């Protein structure tokens, strides 16, 4: 009886231990820290972006840096802004850091080999100086460092500097032009510019047709105004041809520009379209002969000619004359005729053979030939 009672008490004790969450026996494996405690979560984690120093150096493009400095009065200097406005008569001095500096400046100064301009290369910088400045000097001034590999040098695009300078002068709202009348060619394949540039950046500039007299609106889609270039025809066509001029207003004053003749041209771009023609392909001994090489092209595209002829190796005396002229083919279409004519006097045996003409422009060259022999 006592034995059964003792066993019953032991069973009741174990049951109560399970219900009340008693600790497991000491010989059971203990849990690892954090075990069975992982909970699902929707928290967003930002991806780590590697620092620049950890990236491949080849993917980092060198940043361009301005190397230009504008020398002011009293020894002061500053990096010039994209545009500057100076008073005509002032001395301009620009410096660009580097031991091999190249410069670009308004073509007006180059065309006339102006003695007011000087460019020097010092040990550590290039120096451009312009004295007695005028309104005509208005334009872009830029510099760049030369990057050389052996004897081959090129422009270092990471070390450049530029600024557009307006030289204001009393009575000159427009940048003066060397002529009173200029020609602008309108080609359907490229933009055309009526170069009405001003010396006062805030000036109001309008474009006008002479006949019939009216203002031509710069609507921003067909024609736009760029203070550094003038009126830009984005897509020229034959309706734009005629005589135009510009009008500028600033500070209560107004001024009229020179006139511009707009001519429409429609000649395909490419190597010269060339023909060759001899005055006669059969010549008697002692006669004179001429061979004509002709190119039809765009009005503003220059052509150069080269000749090969039978008497060349014997230094046979010949006369070569190059000329060009513009012809109007109706409806405002204009073509440039470039010609080279070779003349041989007192035809003889050494002159018999092939006459070869090569015409060249910026797009390429074309070679044509004809033969001349005894009759």
Q: What tens digit of pLDDT does each residue of 313-363 get? A: 888 999 999 999 887 654 456 778 899 999 999 999 999 999 999 999 988
Same domain, 313 and 364: yes
pLDDT at 6: 57
Residues 159 and 194 in one domain: no
pLDDT number for residue 263: 83
206 belongs to a structural domain:
yes
Q: Which of 104, 137, 168 is the last residue of a domain?
A: 168
Give domain status of residue 256, yes or no.
Answer: yes
Torsion over CA: 132, 169, 179, 110 (sign): positive
Residue 231 inside a domain? The answer is yes
pLDDT at res. 257: 93
Domain shared by 259 and 279, yes or no:
no
Number of domains in the chain: 3
Q: Is 236 found in the same domain as 289?
A: no
Domain of residue 80, CATH code: 2.60.40.10
Residue 55: what pLDDT? Answer: 47
* Burial of 168 per CB tally in 10 Å (0-12, 13-18, 19+): buried
List of the chain residues with pLDDT < 50:
19-22, 25-26, 33-41, 43, 45, 52-59, 330-331
Position 294 in a domain: yes
pTM for this predicted structure: 0.59
- Shared-domain flag, residues 226 and 303: no
- Which structural domain, as residue segments, surrounds residue 123? 68-168
**What confidence tens digit (pLDDT) does each residue in 219-254 have?**
888 899 999 999 999 989 888 888 999 999 998 899
In a domain, 162, yes or no: yes
Q: What is the pLDDT of residue 122?
A: 93
Whether 89 maps to a domain, the answer reads yes
What integer pLDDT is reported at residue 57 of this predicted model? 47
pLDDT at 328: 66
Phi, psi of 148, deg, nearest 5: -110, 140
Question: Is 144 inside any structural domain?
Answer: yes
Residue 18 maps to a domain: no
Last residue of a domain, one of 264, 286, 316: 264
């Amino acid at each position: 009886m006592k034995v059964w009672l003792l066993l019953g008490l032991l069973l009741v004790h174990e049951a109560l231990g399970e219900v009340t969450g008693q600790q497991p026996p000491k010989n059971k494996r203990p849990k690892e820290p954090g075990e069975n405690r992982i909970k699902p979560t929707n928290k967003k984690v930002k991806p780590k972006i590697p620092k620049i120093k950890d990236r491949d150096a080849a993917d980092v493009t060198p940043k361009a840096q301005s190397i230009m400095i504008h020398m002011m009065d009293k020894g002061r200097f500053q990096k010039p802004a994209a545009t500057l406005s100076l008073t005509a008569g002032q001395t301009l001095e620009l410096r660009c850091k580097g031991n091999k500096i190249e410069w670009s400046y308004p073509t007006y100064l180059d065309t006339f080999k102006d003695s007011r301009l000087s460019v020097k290369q010092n040990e550590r910088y290039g120096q451009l100086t312009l004295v007695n400045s005028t309104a005509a000097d208005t334009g872009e001034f830029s510099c760049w460092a030369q990057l050389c590999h052996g004897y081959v040098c090129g422009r270092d695009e990471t070390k450049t500097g530029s600024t557009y300078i307006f030289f204001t002068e009393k009575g000159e709202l427009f940048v003066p032009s060397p002529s009173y009348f200029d020609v602008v060619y309108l080609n359907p394949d490229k933009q055309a510019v009526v170069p009405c540039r001003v010396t006062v950046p805030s000036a109001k500039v309008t474009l006008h047709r002479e006949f019939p007299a009216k203002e031509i609106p710069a609507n921003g889609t067909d024609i736009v105004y760029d203070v550094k270039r003038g009126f830009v025809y984005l897509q020229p066509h034959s309706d734009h041809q005629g005589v135009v001029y510009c009008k500028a207003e600033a500070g209560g004053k107004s001024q009229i520009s020179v006139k511009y003749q707009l001519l429409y041209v429609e000649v395909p771009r490419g190597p010269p379209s060339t023909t060759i023609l001899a005055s006669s392909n059969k010549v008697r001994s002692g006669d004179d002969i001429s061979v004509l090489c002709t190119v039809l092209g765009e009005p503003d595209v220059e052509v150069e000619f080269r000749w090969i002829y039978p008497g060349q190796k014997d230094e046979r005396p010949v006369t070569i004359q190059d000329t060009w002229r513009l012809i109007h083919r109706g409806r405002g279409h204009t073509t440039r005729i470039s010609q080279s004519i070779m003349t041989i006097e007192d035809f003889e045996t050494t002159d018999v053979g092939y006459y070869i003409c090569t015409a060249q422009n910026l797009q390429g060259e074309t070679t044509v030939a004809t033969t001349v022999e005894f009759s």
